[in-house]
Amino acid sequence: MNYIPTSTFVYLIISVALCILLPMAFVIYLGKKQRVSTKIMVSGVICFIVFVVIIESIIHQMVLGNLFSKESNPFLYAVYGGVMAALFEVAARFVGLKFMVKEKSSVGYAMQFGLGYGLAEVLVVGIMPLASNLATAVNINKYGVEEFINKAAKAGATSDAIDAFRAGLPALFENNIQCLYGGFERIFALALQIALSIIVFQAIREAHKNKDYAYLAVAFAIHFITDFSAALYQAGKIENMLVVELFTLFMAAVACIIARMLYVKNVDEFGGAVNEQSSYS
């Protein structure tokens, strides 16, 4: 393929715009409803970077390829991906909400922590790859595929990276409608991250009262099921990306319903505004 169609650029630009504008709109909306703490949102960003971007990535590099791969054992790959994603992301929220957020009495602060966590994921998993794909599409139309690859090779790209790029061209550009999915997926994921943070917040509150960590299991299960389906797609066992996106939307809806019930329960218990302090510490 030597020319990227205009529709691909339109889809990529829409996806990038969704990743930027909708989270901004939610931040503005939340700011009108309650006092937003930048410190708490930054805590969510830090936890995502430390647990997911750094620690989880290092473990993936040590395990994947050495023990198994998505080509040799796709089902085990999907199970591993789901377990690791759920483990580290639930742990990130638990550590952040338990030790970094002093205002533990408010479910509103848990929501803000989840918003910061989700915004970091939108940037790393959404905006950066989509912007990279957009820049790649521009350069392919400017130089052509082969010339672009030659320039990449001269710049130091490995043969494995070039082979992976060639293999990914059809998925990225020929099936260009998939470029539109990325923006919507990040919005679903942002809602999921906020909801899961509220669920983990409830686990911390329940543990404080009666040593019950059942809500941690709920958060882990939701995360595992969601990421397991995504890993099956990466392994080629689910061929239609739309199926994965719709399933992500469904799981996000389930998590949001649970989180909404917990949010109302906590606001009622505190007797008013979500940021009021209670005896819980």
For the chain, the average pLDDT equals 85
Per-residue pLDDT, 280: 33
Per-residue pLDDT, 276: 43
Tell me what the mean pLDDT of segment 260-269 comes to.
Answer: 78
Q: For 64, list phi and psi in degrees, rounded to 5.
A: -65, 135
Tens-digit pLDDT profile for residues 86-118:
999 999 999 999 888 765 567 888 889 999 999
Per-residue pLDDT, 74: 87
Tell me what the mean pLDDT of segment 18-26 comes to.
Answer: 91
Per-residue pLDDT, 158: 83
DSSP state letter for 35? -
pLDDT range class, residue 128, cuts 50, 70, 90: very high
Per-residue pLDDT, 57: 92
Alpha carbon of residue 23 to chain centroid: 13
